[in-house]
Structures are given as C-alpha cells and as structure tokens.
Amino acid sequence: MPKKAASPNLLLLCLFSLLAYGFLQLSCCYCSASSTTSTREVVVVVVKREDDDENHHKIKGMFVFGSSLVDNGNNNFLQVSMAKADYSPYGIDFPLGPSGRFTNGKNVIDLLGDKLKLGYYIPPFTNPSTKGTKVVHGVNYASGGSGILDDTGSLAGQVISLSQQMRNFEEVTLPDLNAQLGCSSRESLPNYLFVVGSGGNDYSFNYFLRKSSSSNYTTTTSLEAFTSNLITKLSGQLK
C-alpha cells in the first residue's frame, strides 16, 4: 500500500481582546501571551501531522499569515496604510530597531523561530527583495489591522486581507519556491510550518464597530451569527 503523502504543519493563533471579549466562553485550551502582547489572549490550536511520531523532521521555515500579532513589517511598504509600527517606541528592544513589528522587541513569530532554532528572521512579503533564495526559509504575509473578513481594517486605509495573503502565497511565492527547490509543493511544503494569527480585528474593527454605529446591523446580526460566519470564512481560506 503506497505511503500517504505528508501534510503541512499548521498552527492557528485565534486572537481575542481580553478587555472587549472577556465574556466569551471559549471551549479551548488557553495559554498566556508574551509580555509584548499583554493586552491579548491567545487561543492556540495545533494541527499535528499524522506521521510526526514516525518521521521527526526539522522545520525548514515558516509561512505566516494574519494581523499585527504576527506582522513583521509588511505594512511598512503600504503607502496609504495608517497601521504602521516602523517608528519609536516600537522596536526599542529589537536588535534591528523599529522594523514594523507591533511590539517593543521580538514578536511571537520571532520567538517561535528561536524555539525552532531557525536562526533567521522570516522576511515580509511586501519587501521587494523577498524573492529567489530569500523565500526558501519562508515568508511572512501578515498585515497589521487586517482580518479574516475582507472589509476588516478598512479604517486603517490600506491593509492586506487574509484572503489576499493566501493568494500572494499561492500565486507569487509558491511558484518561486518550487523553482528554487527544484521540486513540487507536494514534496516541499510538509517541511514548513504554516502559522495563521487572525480574528481579533474582525471583532474590534468590524462587528463591534458596526454595532455601535448602526442600529440596523445590531438588530440583524447576532454575535453568534457573526462568529459562525468567521469560522466558515476561515475554513474556506485554509482549504
């Protein structure tokens, strides 16, 4: 019987603000966020590869999608975006100074990279130099202010929605990666970790913002229905 092809590794970071959504009852395991993200609570869901116990392998790199928790500088290259962190005091404890990370030091992706002993920072997709050999160890597509829904973050001007981030990976980076590695994505992607950190802005800058400004939206859309829509949308994006 032929061996089943390995599937990519997936880590989901679903973000909910402690201050605004403390009443939400989440049937998940919680872990505290680092000090650089002290206003957030992170729900971590790890999807484990079926063959992990049989074939322990070293993660080659990461492909990162999401919002400000995992953005490492993509918004720096968006001319009309108001969601930027390329100035002090952002980055005061980061070796490279203000870099577009929405933290004083390393963000959760940098810390995860340290834990995996990658030895390098994952480059942002919007940096024109992120191509060729630079994509071999992964790419970060995350955009501060963005969300699962395409219209989340519109108040910030220009942001990159999660759907567009996925398209950037599939249409731009993946062909480049295959060319660099000389093999198909079916062979190469199981060696990478895929990280998705999104969801909080859809509540902050979409549902609750609309609820406070539109009585019609309040009466026609419940929190449960909105959350169900988010889950459906995210499920489709991850397929």
pLDDT tens for the 239 residues of the chain, in order = 545 555 667 766 654 333 333 333 332 333 333 333 333 333 343 444 444 444 445 889 999 999 999 999 999 999 889 999 999 999 999 999 999 999 999 999 999 999 999 999 999 999 999 999 999 999 999 999 999 999 898 888 899 999 999 999 999 999 999 999 999 888 889 999 999 999 999 998 888 887 766 555 555 788 899 999 999 999 898 87
Q: Are 231 and 196 in contact (CB under 8 A)?
A: no
Question: Residue 138: which of 121, 117, 126, 154 has the closest Cα?
Answer: 121
- pLDDT number for residue 42: 39
The two tokens of residue 193 are 């970790």
Specify the DSSP class assigned to residue 147.
-
- Identity of the residue numbered 200: G
Q: Name residue 195's beta-bridge partners.
A: 11, 64
Q: Are 72 and 122 in contact (CB under 8 A)?
A: yes
Q: Are 146 and 162 in contact (CB under 8 A)?
A: yes
How far apart are alpha carbons 122 and 193 in whole angstroms? 12
Q: Are 71 and 127 in contact (CB under 8 A)?
A: no
Sheet-wide strand order for 9-17: 30-32, 40-47, 9-17, 192-198, 61-66, 138-140
Q: Are 69 and 204 in contact (CB under 8 A)?
A: no
Q: Please identify which residue in the block is written with the tokens 């980055």.
A: 91
How many CB atoms are closer than 10 A to CB 123?
19
- pLDDT number for residue 221: 80
Strands (E) in the chain, as ranges, are 9-17, 30-32, 40-47, 61-66, 138-140, 192-198
How far apart are alpha carbons 42 and 17 in whole angstroms? 9
pTM, whole model, 2 decimals?
0.79
- pLDDT number for residue 33: 34
- pLDDT number for residue 113: 93
- pLDDT number for residue 209: 80
